[in-house]
Structure 1
Amino acid sequence: MFENTKQIIERIGETDQLYLTNNTPELALERADLRLQLVVFSNSRQEQIHFLQEAIVLLEQARIEYEEMPMRVYLDLSIQLAKAYMMYFDISKEVRFALITQQILKPLNQHAHSDIYFLLSYASISKNEIALTRHWLIKYSKTSDFDLELLQTHPAFKNIQQDPWFVELLQTKLH
């Protein structure tokens, strides 16, 4: 990650120029990631939404523009797109963004990727779908990239942290 917004903006200019001559799915991923970094740095809701919309367009376009790409790249694009939609949800609290995240990732869940399971659980809890949240969190807990601290500190899961199944899930990972 770049250290400041000036470096990010400079890199956006460079990658936008590269786009004109040699666009690739990986370049689209970088271009979108740079915009998502600006969302995090910005204190202006209007700027955040602008950068999110740009990132979403880049990621959506890259997912459909290329007839062939490695599955890993497609998964990365899809996960980044889902993260962007959940960032949009965090800013707007509009449940439709959680639904879009589910629509993007559910068809990819057979890849057993920890980020897919986590984002599906995050989208489910955002829609107050506790049974689905539990389902995805159990799958997430079985991955090698399971992050106990993330689950304990993520604000989306605050309301279920005292639920017996959630406590049990965390305790099994503590041992």
Structure 2
Amino acid sequence: MILDQYMSNETKQVIARIGETDQLYLENNTPELALERADLRLQLVMLSHVRQEQLHFLQEAIVLLEQARIEYDEMPLSLYLNLSLYLAKAYMIYFELTKEQRFALITQQILKPLAHYNHLDIYFFLAYASAAKQEQAMTRHWLQKYVSCFEYDLELLQVHPAFKSVRMEDWFKALIQNKAH
């Protein structure tokens, strides 16, 4: 096949694993398997340079994650949070590809009800979605919660493009300054 010569080994491995996990799905689906299947598709989004492919794999990942979140009555909280975070990540990738603010809004709708779990990544994605929607007060709110977590990533805040518009704000400088020391 001519396309094979253009595909990286990493892409081939992801596609092979998708085939394996899709076969496992036919035998016995679990929320863990749905998470892996969605993750593989998100990896393909990152590996692809073709917008239509990216959107296709994103849509597949979103469907898998949405179904897994509602299909199972019983699952550990950590797994539900991971499914939700992957779903938020997928929607924010969608936002990055399309610049449509509705995807940032969907991310907020997914994660706001989970904010009381004091989870670092939930705060980060809520800040990211708020910044994408140009909601400076909410961006500040969620970033303050993010940096109050023990394992926050200071460098990520300083380099992530979503926060470019607030980097010159006094409150952002103070937030970074206080945590750098």
Give me the whole-angstrom Cα distance separating, in 2, the residues matched to 1:77 and 1:162. Answer: 34
1:68 corresponds in structure 2 to 74
* Residue 137 of structure 1, aligned match among 138, 143, 146: 143
Aligned-pair CA distance for 1:172? 1.0
Aligned-pair CA distance for 1:145? 2.1
Q: Structure 2: where are the runs of 5+ without partners? A: 1-8
2:6 corresponds in structure 1 to none
* Residue 94 of structure 1, aligned match among 100, 115, 120: 100
2:89 corresponds in structure 1 to 83
Q: Structure 1: where are the runs of 5+ without partners? A: none
Give me the whole-angstrom Cα distance separating, in 2, the residues matched to 1:15 and 1:153. Answer: 35
Give me the whole-angstrom Cα distance separating, in 2, the residues matched to 1:145 and 1:50. Answer: 34
Tell me if 1:151 matches 2:151.
Answer: no
1:33 corresponds in structure 2 to 39
Instruction: State which structure, 1 or 2, has the greater radius of gyration over its C-alpha atoms.
Output: 2
Give me the whole-angstrom Cα distance separating, in 2, the residues matched to 1:18 and 1:96. Answer: 34
Tell me if 1:170 matches 2:176.
Answer: yes
Q: Scaled by the length of structure 2, what TM-score is found?
A: 0.94
1:103 corresponds in structure 2 to 109
Give me the whole-angstrom Cα distance separating, in 2, the residues matched to 1:158 and 1:124. Answer: 13
Count matched residues: 173
Percent identity (aligned): 69
Aligned-pair CA distance for 1:26? 0.5
Tell me if 1:43 matches 2:37.
Answer: no
1:89-129 CA-partner distances (Å, limit 9, x unpaired): 00000000000000000000000111000000000010010
CA RMSD in angstroms, aligned pairs only: 0.7
Give me the whole-angstrom Cα distance separating, in 1, the residues matched to 2:120 and 2:168. Answer: 23
Aligned-pair CA distance for 1:144? 1.8
Tell me if 1:20 matches 2:26.
Answer: yes
- What is the letter of the counterpart of residue 53 of structure 2? E
Q: Scaled by the length of structure 1, what TM-score is found?
A: 0.98
